[in-house]
Structure 1
Amino acid sequence: MSDKFEGGCLCGAVRFLATGAPKGVFWCHCQSCRRHSGAPVSVFVGIELHAYTVTKGEITKFKSSPGTTRGFCRACGSTLTCEVRQLPTETHFHVGAFDDPTQFEPSKHFFRNEQLPWLHLK
């Protein structure tokens, strides 16, 4: 795995660069993530706050629920980040926001109790 990871939104208005090893890669099954992404499950890559920079544009943020702030592109609406109060030193980037998401493989699940019953994952 590389130690530099680039990514951005669908329209290219937002670009970012992350360096170093990710804190983790995980599935999130919560309803809030489903609604934000429009997908049945989200996969996140945890990056330390000091280990990434926005190199173009700006990630627009909103508080989606108590203790949770989500980020997206203001121009195209691409889902980009999720930050939670319980982990104040990291940002979770949606795996699909990376230029090469094949570099990341989820190793754990969160909110498995909210997993859709028809979704079968390893």
Structure 2
Amino acid sequence: MTETIRPGGCLCGALRFEATGEPIDIGWCHCRICQRSSGAPAQVWALYPSEAFRWIKGEPAIYASSAEGRREFCATCGSQVAFRIGAYASPNVGCFDEPDSLKPRRHIWTESRITWFETPDGLPRSPRDDK
């Protein structure tokens, strides 16, 4: 049996990645940092162990968005592709070639949710990042 390999990349194609295996978690993030870094009311992420995520084309620009985390993005087109924290890599689901294969399981940081943005999906919601 072969492991699933999910490719993806940025808008212009300068960055390409592969995520191997199944993600540990997938969810919506409503935190203010994700809102500001994406320009969207929320972002959907897929969490992988760092060793399961690798760049196969290009090198990302990096921005330390908090004391613990860093954003990896394309310096050419500006696409934010991944977030890293500790031993984990969290590519943005919209950057995968087949994002439909990764369905969110929960919402985090809903205490920062923009009130006019609601996803009536019945998924569990957490005011912060509690599992």
TM-score, length basis structure 1:
0.92
The structural deviation recorded for 1:21 is 0.8
> Counterparts in 2 of 1:1-122, with a 5 A limit?
3-84=4-85, 88-121=86-119, 122=121
SS of residue matched to 1:65: coil
- Structure 1 partner of 2:126: none
SS of residue matched to 2:111: helix
Using CA pairs under 8 Å that are at least 6 residues apart, name the structure with larger relative contact order, 1 or 2: 1
In structure 2, stretches of 5+ residues that fail to align are 122-131
What CA distance in whole angstroms lies between the structure 2 residues aligned with 1:43 and 1:35? 14
How big is the alpha-carbon RMSD for the aligned residues of Structure 1 and Structure 2? 1.1
The structural deviation recorded for 1:66 is 2.0
1:58-84 deviation line (CA, Å, top 9, x unaligned): 111111122121110011100111123
What CA distance in whole angstroms lies between the structure 1 residues aligned with 2:40 and 2:16? 22
Structure with larger Rg: 2
What CA distance in whole angstroms lies between the structure 1 residues aligned with 2:5 and 2:22? 9
* AA of the residue aligned to 1:91: A
What CA distance in whole angstroms lies between the structure 1 residues aligned with 2:67 and 2:77? 25
Residue correspondences, number = 118
* Structure that is richer in strand per residue: 1
SS of residue matched to 2:118: coil
